[in-house]
Amino acid sequence: MWGGIRRWLFLKALAEVKRKRSPKPPLHQNPMMDIHILYEITSQADYDIVSSWASQLKKSGKKVYTLGFARSPGLKPAENDNIYTLKEVGYNFAPKSTKAKEFLSTHADVLVVLCHQFHLHMKYMTFAHDSYFKIGLKFPNSETYFHMTVDTDTDAEYNQVIQNIVMSINKLSNN
């Protein structure tokens, strides 16, 4: 019963976001300069891989903003990082943390979502995020949230997932 009520609150929150959203212009041909990465931390390796990729993107002149979700506080690597936990997620699955709200309020050219399991609060963040292009892994009903999905094993390491996402974006840009 509580699960049904929480699901209803989640759908109501999504409808509110959709109602407030302004129509987006068509995808532009400018290079992707602002990249936001929303990711799930299941181990220290996940955090290290995403941090390394973000550093590489920054070195190539991109503005990168990352936000990680740590299922348990023990996986939170450092206090100053942009990471939120399950304690910072409301009953309607909308994240309550200031870092998550800042992430949602900042515009990006591309939103990349990396996760092993597409949690409802991550669905909310993906849906509510203001970006021109959203890319993530293929999950059930993922076409509701992403412009492009990459069909990769959800248990694969982030190195492999990132490689597949970059390869897919390159194929898209070359066509």
Instruction: Tell me how far apart the alpha carbons of residues 104 and 90 are, in angstroms, rounded to a whole number.
Output: 15
Given CA atoms 21, 23, 26, 29 in this order, what sign does their dihedral have? negative
- pLDDT digit string, tens, across residues 32-67: 688 999 999 888 888 888 889 999 989 988 899 999
SS3 82: coil
Residue (of 32, 22, 38, 23) closest to 170 by Cα position? 32
Instruction: Tell me how far apart the alpha carbons of residues 134 and 37 are, in angstroms, rounded to a whole number.
Output: 10
Summarize the confidence of residues 139-163 as an average pLDDT. 82
The reported pLDDT for the residue numbered 63 is 92
Instruction: Tell me how far apart the alpha carbons of residues 11 and 14 are, in angstroms, rounded to a whole number.
Output: 5
Given CA atoms 150, 127, 33, 175 in this order, what sign does their dihedral have? positive
Q: Considering the chain, what is the average pLDDT of its residues?
A: 81
The reported pLDDT for the residue numbered 113 is 93
Instruction: Tell me how far apart the alpha carbons of residues 84 and 54 are, in angstroms, rounded to a whole number.
Output: 18
Strand order in the sheet with 63-70: 83-85, 63-70, 34-41, 108-114, 131-137, 148-150
Domains and CATH numbers, the chain: 2-22+30-174 (3.40.50)
What is the DSSP code (8-state) at residue 95? B
The reported pLDDT for the residue numbered 171 is 72
Residue (of 138, 105, 117, 139) closest to 36 by Cα position? 105
Stretch among 98-112, 129-143, 156-170 having the lowest mean pLDDT? 156-170
Assign 138 a pLDDT band (cuts: 50, 70, 90). Answer: confident
